[in-house]
């Protein structure tokens, strides 16, 4: 007999055959097409088992073809993983990360187009989602919503099985059938990225912030506004896209493979003698962080208030700040893309306690441990802010 084991991968169950294909087929044929009764001398007729085998084989072929044909531009072809002996060990569906990068760039820019059009038409339709933990208003606008629809449903059109986590959720009944399908190639990606990598769908989580710095967006402080897409592989930020819609500028990176030409590191060595260190922080709690920063880093420390996590990360590349500090709760869709960009350029983003942040879809979307982002001297900043990290840990 054939030894059969069932294995689950994501929503599907797959079968592992321990006998080789040739042995299995030979055994089935011997059983299904054996001589029977009076007809044996004249020829061969099907036994009941033979009829059953034919129906099973036909059904299996039809099911396989349906799965093979379903999906997106990468064809989502089921891939059979075969051992050297010809045994079937597993079946999985994978995706091209180069194509996913191109789609992420295109969708971040399409979302940005919605954000810019609605702001310029001054049709924000602002609502409040409530208050943040610090008591600040947490607004949502039509720019957030339309960008969300363009990005999330754009991914769905190309990669319908992809796990996408977005800050926003459209209202029931919103029209999504008119969403334009994204481009699956990008000229700069093709020029910079020379090799591809395929990854199983179940390992991928996409984090989307359709409009970062919504409060500043409502105040018409356009320089802080970004749209962001991040691809995490097994919880690790791998592809990051930060688009500035009012500057028509996009920064992207794929860790270990390449980055956009405009993503330059205009760093200066933090902590050089006589040089004041510059810390960029949220506008909503700049005062409290300034006090902490000067206690930890010295009175010469310059604290720069700004809106939007995406803007703050880009400020590190532009030489505006030496470190980005956040001491309260922040959501992972705010920081995943920036984390990927920093990793691609040998920078770091961790909690204030130095812990790496996990971006798996199954995890908590809240990051409670504060945030430290740097391009240089990350460990030195961690040591300076260790007392503040300890206070945060005691609260949670």
213-250 pLDDT, tens digit each? 999 999 999 999 999 999 999 999 999 999 999 999 99
Least confident stretch, 45-59, 113-127, 256-270, 273-287: 45-59
Least confident stretch, 281-295, 296-310, 341-355: 281-295
Q: Where in the chain is the domain with CATH 3.40.190.80?
A: 278-395
Least confident stretch, 59-68, 146-155, 156-165, 192-201: 59-68
Q: Is 334 labelled a binding residue?
A: yes
Identify the helix (H) or strand (E) that includes residue 251: strand 249-254
In the chain, how long is the greatest CA-to-CA distance? 104
pLDDT at position 235, please?
97
Do 189 and 181 contact (CB within 8 A), yes or no? no
pLDDT at position 191, please?
97
pLDDT at position 11, please?
40
Please identify which of the residues 142, 144, 322, 377 carries the catalytic annotation: 144
Write the CATH number of the domain with boundaries 94-259. Answer: 3.30.540.10
143 pLDDT band, cuts 50/70/90, is very high
Assess whether pLDDT exceeds 50 at residue 3: no
**Residue 281 CB partners (closer than 8 Å, separation 6+):** 289, 290, 293, 303, 304, 305, 306, 312, 324, 325, 326
Task: Give the chain's count of helices (H) and strands (E).
Answer: 11, 20
Q: Is 212 labelled a binding residue?
A: yes
Please identify which of the residues 205, 214, 350, 351 carries the catalytic annotation: 214
Write the CATH number of the domain with boundaries 278-395. Answer: 3.40.190.80
Q: Is 162 labelled a binding residue?
A: no
Q: Is 209 labelled a binding residue?
A: yes
Per-residue pLDDT tens over the stretch 338-382: 999 999 999 999 999 999 999 999 888 999 999 999 999 999 999
3-state secondary structure of 256: coil
Pairing mode, strands 323-326 and 330-331: unpaired
Over residues 28-52, the mean pLDDT reads 56
pLDDT at position 88, please?
38
**Could you tell me which residue, 53 or 17, shows the higher pLDDT?**
53
Q: What percent of the chain has pLDDT over 70?
A: 72
Assess whether pLDDT exceeds 60 at residue 70: no
Over residues 79-108, the mean pLDDT reads 70
**Residue 214 designated active-site:** yes
Q: Is 318 labelled a binding residue?
A: no
Q: Where in the chain is the domain with CATH 3.30.540.10?
A: 94-259
- State the chain's mean pLDDT as an integer: 81
3-state secondary structure of 42: coil
pLDDT at position 67, please?
52
């Amino acid at each position: 007999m054939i030894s059969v084991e069932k294995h689950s991968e994501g929503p599907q169950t797959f079968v592992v055959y321990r006998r080789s294909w040739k042995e299995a087929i030979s055994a089935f044929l011997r059983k299904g097409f054996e001589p029977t009764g009076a007809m044996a001398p004249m020829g061969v007729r099907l036994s009941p088992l033979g009829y059953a085998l034919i129906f099973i084989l036909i059904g299996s072929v039809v099911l396989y073809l349906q799965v093979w044909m379903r999906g997106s531009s990468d064809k989502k072809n089921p891939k059979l993983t075969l051992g050297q002996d010809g045994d079937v060990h597993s079946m999985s569906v994978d995706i091209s990360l180069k194509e996913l990068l191109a789609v992420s760039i295109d969708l971040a820019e399409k979302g940005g187009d919605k954000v810019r059009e609605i702001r310029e038409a001054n049709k924000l339709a602002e609502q409040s989602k409530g208050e943040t933990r610090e008591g600040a208003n947490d607004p949502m606008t039509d720019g957030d919503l339309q960008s969300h629809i363009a990005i999330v449903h754009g991914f769905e059109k190309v990669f319908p099985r992809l796990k996408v986590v977005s800050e926003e959720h459209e209202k029931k009944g919103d029209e999504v059938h008119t969403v334009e399908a994204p481009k699956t190639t990008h000229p700069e990606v093709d020029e910079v990225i020379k090799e591809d990598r395929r990854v199983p769908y179940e390992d991928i989580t996409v984090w989307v912030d359709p409009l970062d710095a919504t409060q500043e967006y409502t105040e018409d402080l356009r320089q802080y506004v970004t749209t962001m897409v991040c691809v995490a592989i097994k919880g690790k930020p791998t592809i990051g896209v930060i688009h500035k819609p009012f500057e028509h500028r996009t920064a992207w990176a794929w860790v270990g493979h390449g980055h956009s030409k405009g993503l330059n590191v205009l760093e200066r060595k933090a902590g050089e003698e006589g040089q004041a260190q510059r810390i960029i922080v949220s506008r909503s709690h700049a005062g409290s962080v300034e006090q902490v920063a000067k206690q930890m880093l010295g009175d010469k420390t310059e604290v720069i208030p700004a809106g939007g996590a995406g803007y703050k990360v880009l400020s590190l590349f532009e030489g505006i700040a030496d470190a980005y500090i956040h001491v309260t709760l922040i959501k992972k869709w705010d920081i995943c893309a920036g984390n990927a960009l920093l990793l691609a350029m040998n920078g770091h983003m961790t909690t204030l306690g130095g812990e790496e942040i996990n971006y798996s879809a199954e995890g908590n979307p809240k990051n409670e441990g504060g945030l430290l982002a740097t391009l240089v001297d990350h460990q030195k900043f961690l040591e300076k802010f260790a007392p503040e990290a300890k206070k945060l840990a005691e609260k949670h």
